[in-house]
Amino acid sequence: MRNVWLFLSLSLTLLGCSDTLTQPVRKFEVLTPRPFGYVIGDVIVHKIIIETRPGILLQPSSLPTQGAINRWLNLNEAIITETESDGGHKYHITLNYQIFYAPLEVKMLTLPGFEMAFSMGSKSVGQTVPPWHFTVSPLRELAVRKDAGGEYMRPDAQAEAINADSTVTGFALSLSIALLSAARLASLYGFWPFFRRRNIFKQALRKLDALSADDMDQVLTTMHQALNSLNGQPVFKHRLDIFYRKYPNYRQLGRELNWFFEYSSRYFFIGTENSGNVNLEKIKKLCQNCREIERGSR
């Protein structure tokens, strides 16, 4: 008797095993939303999760096609996501249905079922997705309500005010950039009172413009004062290298500055004659070049 029971239980276990082994689909699950409380225009999302054995592939063409399924049902979207799972395939299928049924009272409707096909080599096997029942409710009463304009209907969607956020942001951004660059240029051109250093040669140039060749003393003094003022201490010819280390941009005017210091020495200490407008113009040109370096345009 004991052997008989053992034989029976073993046979049943084997039968069970052989069944799962031959099933092409390891897991089949249909996730549905609540089956009530829908109105016209609602979207119903169905999710199907399928796991297949190795070598078994879903035939996407067996899914419902996008578009009108019947007069009141539309399939807006069918999304299939495929991943590998234990040698087989795992499919996540999302079906977005939309209903356009206008019932007179709460009514039960059915989303039609369909047969999903799987290919297994040259063979094909199927898996049925059952139909799904749900109720849909009306939005308006049975008796037609009327207002002054005839049959009552919802009014037009009003135009919304044009959003100016992006334009305001663009305006603020471009204005900030304009102000920042203008401020930087103003400092370079010596328009800020607290950036006097940017103003030294500008003022010197203004003074030089008012002087003539006969005022060579003042011309030279003005230029010296400008250089001294920039350096913070007197600049001499033999200390020009130190000056250039401090203000490397002025090194490009080395020849002109050498000439200026030599000429100034000759003028003040040897008493070289004033050669008139030529030297005045050279000093003005030097001052102009210094001014360009000062404002960063050279």
Kindly list the residues in this chain that would bind another protein in the complex (CB under 8 A): 39-43, 65, 70-72, 74, 76, 98, 100, 102, 138-140, 143-146, 150-162, 164, 167-168, 170-171, 174-175, 177-178, 181-182, 184-185, 188, 249, 293, 295-298
Cα(243)–Cα(259) distance, rounded to whole angstroms? 16
In the complex, least distance from residue 132 CB atom to another protein, rounded to whole angstroms: 17
Q: ∠ CA 256-262-263 to the nearest 5 degrees? A: 85
Burial annotation 190-222 (CB, 10 A radius, 16+ → b, else e): beeeeeeebbbbbbbbebbeebeeeebeebbeb
3-class SS at 293? helix
Closer of 191 and 263 to another protein (Cβ): 191
Closer of 15 and 162 to another protein (Cβ): 162
In the complex, least distance from residue 114 CB atom to another protein, rounded to whole angstroms: 9
Q: Are 201 and 287 in contact (CB under 8 A)?
A: yes
In the complex, least distance from residue 96 CB atom to another protein, rounded to whole angstroms: 9
In the complex, least distance from residue 200 CB atom to another protein, rounded to whole angstroms: 17
Q: Are 56 and 88 in contact (CB under 8 A)?
A: yes
Cα(39)–Cα(35) distance, rounded to whole angstroms? 12
Closer of 108 and 278 to another protein (Cβ): 108
Burial annotation 84-106 (CB, 10 A radius, 16+ → b, else e): eeeebbbbebebebebebebeee
Closer of 250 and 261 to another protein (Cβ): 250
Cα(128)–Cα(28) distance, rounded to whole angstroms? 10
Burial class (CB in 10 A: 0-12, 13-18, 19+), 23: middle
Closer of 28 and 101 to another protein (Cβ): 101
In the complex, least distance from residue 173 CB atom to another protein, rounded to whole angstroms: 8
Q: ∠ CA 213-217-220 to the nearest 5 degrees? A: 90
Biggest alpha carbon distance in the chain? Answer: 143
In the complex, least distance from residue 141 CB atom to another protein, rounded to whole angstroms: 9
In the complex, least distance from residue 76 CB atom to another protein, rounded to whole angstroms: 6
Closer of 9 and 137 to another protein (Cβ): 137
Closer of 55 and 170 to another protein (Cβ): 170
